[in-house]
Amino acid sequence: MFRGTEGSNRVPVAITIAGSDSGGGAGIQADLKTFAALGVHGTTAITCITAQNTYSVTAIECVKPEIVKEQIKQVAEDMGIDAGKTGMLYTEEIIKAVSEEISKYNFPLVVDPVMVAKSGAFLLKPEAEAALRKYLLPLATVVTPNRFEAERLTGMEIRSMEDAKRAAKEICSMGPRAVVIKGGHLDMPKDAIDILYYMGEYRIFSMPRLDSKTTHGTGCSFSAAIAAFLAKGEDIPSAVKQAKEFTTNAIKFGLKIGKGVGPVNPLATLYREAAKYGVLKSVREAKRILESFPEVADLAPEVGINVAMALPYPENINDVAAIPGRLMRAFGRVKASSSPDFGGSSHLARYLLEMIRHDPRKRAAINIRFSEEILSILRGIGMKISFFDRKEEPADVKHIEGMTIPWGVKQAIARIGETPDVIYHMGDFGKEPMIVVFGEDAAELARRIVEVASKYRSSQRKGNCSI
């Protein structure tokens, strides 16, 4: 769908025709974040200004219909529009104005038939529903109703997959090229299933339902993501599939702010990608620091030392950089046999993945040998210390591969009622006792470990002298 000359590197342009959410969670604000995260230039035609936060909408002011049209016109005539979406339109007058203006251009349009906010406020006047059906749906490339909106559009009751399929077909007969009925039908509580009806066929997109309270703006972000993928030239099924994956991440890493339903986070994926180089560089620097100071060898456990740092919003061990094969003691120092890489540690990665769920700032970790004396040095430099006891691990946890460490981290946090800087355990059959030290940055943490190693070495010397 690129405009401009063949082979040009023009960035795709998308437009959102929607309401402003002063809380920054939904509407225009969610759409612009989504466009930016997906690499398209975002433009806007604001239809309404809402005063709202995470739990209520307290005021709505409409923009004059001719001003809504004018915003679309100015963008279209200058930059060209590769795809657009509509969100909150509120009145029949705005719906008519938008339909009139966009029918002059020929870009793919995603219509999110926004009707009611999560807080219960009307975002489309009920008397304007007919206008949405009559004027806008025939211009749509994709329409994205949730179950409630699909029921209002069709007058049908939707209780099952079969009902949802029938409703999708019925909405498609109102003029759009494709219909996606989103998630929330009742008979599949474990999965969030979207049904796409396109060219006479159904496609099912399923993701495990997230237990998340940060969903304000989900529908906005989803429809904006479909528009962004269409602007980049994807076909409809592929745009819907990728938009669903994108939105699932935005919910998973939603922002825990406000007293109500927290905003989705469409930038999560982008932040994670952007942090990759910095994280690897920090672990590389940490390795250099640990290798340069001979006293670090005094802290090395039998299994070796590792240093790890996670990307923001990590999902699994491949989002954590560490040194494959660890730093082993040799000739009075520690030495790595390979370079840091993502997925380089499963052990420290598990500590970090759990720790970050409780404190997203604690993204770096180093493991060292257990000793009471090392613990008291760590305490002496102001670190908060907690522990877990592998012998207390419930049998059902023990039997699942990879579950001991997350369980242990939770125990250690619960023990002191906050996230510690240091977690240790005293070992178990076949398990060496260990200390894990946490920090915000791998290189900075390595410097602290050198400080601990120096203090430990000098305390050992003094200890020896006094014998």
Supply the residues annotated as catalytic.
182, 215, 217-220
Least CB distance to ligand PXL at residue 123 (A): 6
Measured at CB, which residue is nearest to ligand PXL?
Answer: 27
Provide the b/e sequence for 48-72 (b: ≥16 CB within 10 Å). bbbebbbeebeebebbebeebbebb
Q: What is the DSSP string of 238-281?
A: HHHHHHHHHHHHHHHT----SSSSPBP-TTHHHHHHHHHHHHHH
Q: Coil, helix or strand for 13?
A: strand
Choose one: 112-120, 128-136, 337-345, 353-361; the region binding ligand PXL (CB under 6 A): 112-120
Task: Report the 10 Å Cβ neighbour count for 299.
Answer: 25
Binding mask 24-63 for ligand PXL (x = CB under 6 A): --xx----------------------x-x-----------
H-helix or E-strand containing 59? strand 57-62
- Give me the half-sphere count of Cα atoms (radius 13 Å) on the Cβ side of residue 126: 2
Burial class (CB in 10 A: 0-12, 13-18, 19+), 303: middle
Pick 57 or 307: Cβ nearer ligand PXL: 57
Q: Percent helix, strand, coil in the chain (nearest 5)?
A: 45, 20, 35
Least CB distance to ligand PXL at residue 87 (A): 5
Among 12, 19, 42, 408, interactor with ligand PXL by CB under 6 A? 19
Pick 83 or 261: Cβ nearer ligand PXL: 261
Pick 21 or 101: Cβ nearer ligand PXL: 21
| Binders in 197-256 for ligand PXL, by CB under 6 A | 217, 219-220
Pick 97 or 117: Cβ nearer ligand PXL: 117
Pick 219 or 262: Cβ nearer ligand PXL: 219
Choose one: 15-23, 236-244, 348-356, 382-390; the region binding ligand PXL (CB under 6 A): 15-23
Least CB distance to ligand PXL at residue 20 (A): 6
- For the CA atoms of 238, 239, 245, 249, the dihedral, rounded to the nearest 10 degrees, stands at 160
Q: Is residue 154 involved in binding ligand PXL (CB under 6 A)?
A: no
Binding site for ligand PXL (CB under 6 A): 18-19, 21, 26-27, 50, 52, 87-88, 114, 117-118, 123, 217, 219-220
